[in-house]
Amino acid sequence: MFERFSKDARDVVTCSVALAERAGAESVTEEHLLLAMLDQEGTRAAFAFAALGMADRRASVETGLAEARRRGGLSRADADALAGLGIDVAEVVSKVEAVHGEGALQRGGKPKRRWAPGHRGFTPSAKDVLEKSLRIAIARGDRHIGGEHLLLALTAMPGVVAEVLADHGATYESVQRAMFGGG
């Protein structure tokens, strides 16, 4: 699949790995993909971010991502679904943090391992984003996967990143309009 990636899409992947390494994360997530994309200049995705007024709101995006991490990576849709069962996620988070310290839930549900630099893999959901970008490119009849397809894929996969993007006005439809025009 990577041989079909355009240069700017490859750059996103490389930068996301570097961001994950710098953050000490054990694997590369779709959050790293998004942040890598926000760092780019002169690409179609960068143009979309600028058109949607998102280019200079990186801090706000990071805050949104951090809030979700504090909820243990649960999206607001997850929290709503749990509220339907009578579970107040905010209450659970505050009880856990009262005992185990602030940010206790954000340290991840997976076992901790020592990761050597250069050995970070993508999480299953980040891989899903890469695959989705391929499907979007094929559906559009585009021969290469570019950053624009990665960005569309990020908006299309339900979860924290798509919610944070939507909070900043970047939905699948708005991004598509900004990058390709029309509907």
Partner 1 sequence: MSEATDLAQRAGDRDPRVGLRAVAALRRLLEQLEAVQVRSARNQGWSWQEIAGELGVSRQAVHKKYGRQ
The residue among 60, 83, 59 whose CA lies nearest residue 71 is 83
Is 74 an interacting residue with respect to partner 1 (CB under 8 A)? yes
DSSP string, 91-143: HHHHHHHHHH-TTGGGG-SSPP----TT-PPBPHHHHHHHHHHHHHHHHHT-S
Is 107 an interacting residue with respect to partner 1 (CB under 8 A)? yes
Phi first, then psi, for residue 5 (nearest 5°) are -75, 135
Give me the least distance between CB of 17 and partner 1, in Å please.
23
DSSP-derived secondary structure letter, 144: S
C-beta separation of 146 from 9 below 8 A: yes
Is 23 an interacting residue with respect to partner 1 (CB under 8 A)? no
Most distant pair of Cα atoms in the chain: their distance: 53
Of the listed pieces 14-22, 30-38, 49-57, 83-91, which binds partner 1 according to CB under 8 A? Answer: 83-91
Give me the least distance between CB of 168 and partner 1, in Å please.
23
The one among 9, 12, 35, 105 contacting partner 1 by CB under 8 A: 105
Of the listed pieces 50-58, 70-78, 123-131, 172-180, which binds partner 1 according to CB under 8 A? Answer: 70-78
Is 116 an interacting residue with respect to partner 1 (CB under 8 A)? no
Is 85 an interacting residue with respect to partner 1 (CB under 8 A)? yes
Return the number of the residue (59 or 99) whose C-beta is nearest partner 1: 99
Is 89 an interacting residue with respect to partner 1 (CB under 8 A)? yes
Six-digit token pair at 29? 């997530």
C-beta neighbour count of 31 within 10 angstroms? 28
Give the interface with partner 1 as residue ranges (CB under 8 A): 72-74, 77-79, 81-82, 84-85, 87, 89, 92, 96, 100, 104-105, 107-113
